[in-house]
Amino acid sequence: MRADPPGLNRRALLAAPLILAPSSLAACERFASAEVAPGPDAPPLKSLADFPIGATGMTGQLDDPVWVAAMRRDVDQITPEWELKPERILQPGFAYDFSASDRMVDWGHEQGLRVFGHTLVWYSQGLDQFTDALPTARFAAEFDRYVSTVAGRYRGRMVGWDVVNEAVAEDGDGLRDCVYARKLGPEAYIVRAFEQARAADPDAVLFLNDYNLENNPRKGATFLRLVERLLAQGAPIGGIGTQSHLDIEIPAGQIRDFFRDAASLGLPIHVSELDFPMQRDGGRAPDLRSTADRRAQQVARVGELAEAFMALPARQRFAFTTWGLRDSDSWLVREEGKNRPNESALLLDGEGRPNPAFQAVAGAFGR
C-alpha cells in the first residue's frame, strides 16, 4: 500500500550540503574490523531479519541443484535478473515472449518465495521497437500496451515492480535523455507508466528505481526531488528502489545521509540490487592497496548501508536484495558482465560461505 504523498517543502533541505558529526563518522567505521562468521555454521541470510531478504536468479540457474538449495536456504524473495526486462520480452513488431519470465515467476511461487518484477520501463531497452521515428500516437499506444500487458499478466503474483528504472541523468543533473522522454515528456512518461502499472496490477507496490544514489549525493537529491514532483502529479509511486551497487570508496556517512533523506518521504525503501565490488571501474587510477585494506573498506560501507536500512521505520523496510546470491552468481564475474572472475562483491562466497561483509550485515540487523 502506498503512503500518502508527502509535502513538497524538503527541496531546500535536499539541495543543502550535509554535515556529519565526527562521532557519527567514527561509528560508520566500526564495521571495518568485522570478522567472518564461521562458514559451515553461518545462519541463513533470511534468518538475519524480520523483513524479506532477496536475491536475483535466471532460468539457467533453475537446473543447478546447488543454486536451488542455496536459494531455498537463504532468501525469501526473488527478482528475475533478466527474464522480465524489455529486451527479453519485447519482440519484433511489438510481439511478446513470456516463456522465460513465466518460468521464473512460476518457479519462485513453487518455492514459496515472494517474486519482485524488474523492470517495466528502462531507458536503455526496447529501442528496436520504441524509436524516435515511430509516430507519437502509435508510440504512446504501444507504450501503454506493453506496461499494462506485462504487469497484467502477473497480476496478483508480484509483490512489487520496478516500474521505471534509472530515470535520472548519470551525473545527477536533471533527468536522463531517452526516447521515452522525447516522445512522451521527461516526467509524463514516468507518470504514464505508473498509471498503467497500477491499473494492471493494483495490489503490487510500485517502485521508482535508480543507482548511484548513495555514491553521488547530487544524483540522490535529484532522484528524491523527482519522486516528490511525481507524487504531486498523482503518480501512484508506492516505494523507492535504491540499487546500492556500492563503491567501497564512498565517504563514511554518505550512505546514511541518503537514507535519512529518503526516509522522510514516508515510502517503503527497497535495497534492490546490492553488490559492492572490490575493483575499481575504468577511468580511475589502479588500486594498489592490499586486499585486506580493500576488504576493510568494503565491510565498513556495507555495514553502514545495513545500519541505515535498519534505522528506517519498520514499515519502510520493504526488502534487502543482493544482485546475485553468491560471488559466483554475480554479473561482475560473467564474461558478458564485467568479466572479473576473482571479484568478491556479495555476502556469500562461491561455496555459499559468508564473506567478511556478512557479519557486518548480521550485526547491523541485530542477529
Read off the amino acid at residue 105.
V
Residue 249 is a catalytic residue = no
Task: Give the three-state DSSP class for 94.
Answer: helix
Catalytic residue among 166, 201, 214, 275: 166
- Identify how many contiguous H helices and E strands the chain contains and give both numbers: 12, 10
Peptide bond into 291 cis (omega under 30): no
Which cell numbers in the block locate residue 119?
523492470
Residue found by looking up cell 560461505 in the block: 353
- Cβ atoms of 201 and 155 closer than 8 Å: yes
Q: Which burial class, exposed, middle or buried, applies to 338 when counting CB atoms under 10 A from its CB (0-12, 13-18, 19+)?
A: middle
Bin 248: left if φ > 0, else alpha if -120 < ψ < 50, else beta: alpha
Q: From the candidates 273, 275, 327, 329, give the one annotated as an active-site residue.
A: 273
From CA 151, how far away is CA 202, in angstroms rounded?
10
DSSP string across 257-293: HHHHHHHTT---EEEEEEB--SSPPTTS----S-HHH
CA distance to 173, 196, 210, 264, per residue, from 242 (Å): 18, 22, 6, 15
Report the C-alpha dihedral over residues 293, 296, 301, 306, rounded to 10 degrees: 170
Active-site residue 210, yes or no?
yes
DSSP structure class, residue 168: B
Q: Comparing C-alpha atoms, which of 204, 265, 190, 168 is closest to residue 235?
A: 190
Catalytic residue among 81, 83, 195, 210: 210
The reply to whether 35 belongs to the active site is no
Cα–Cα distance measured from residue 221 to residue 237, given in angstroms and rounded to the nearest whole number? 17
Fill in the DSSP letter of residue 234. T
Position 120, amino acid: L
Cell numbers linked to 231: 507524487
- Cell 513488431 locates to 93
Active site positions, annotated:
166, 210, 273
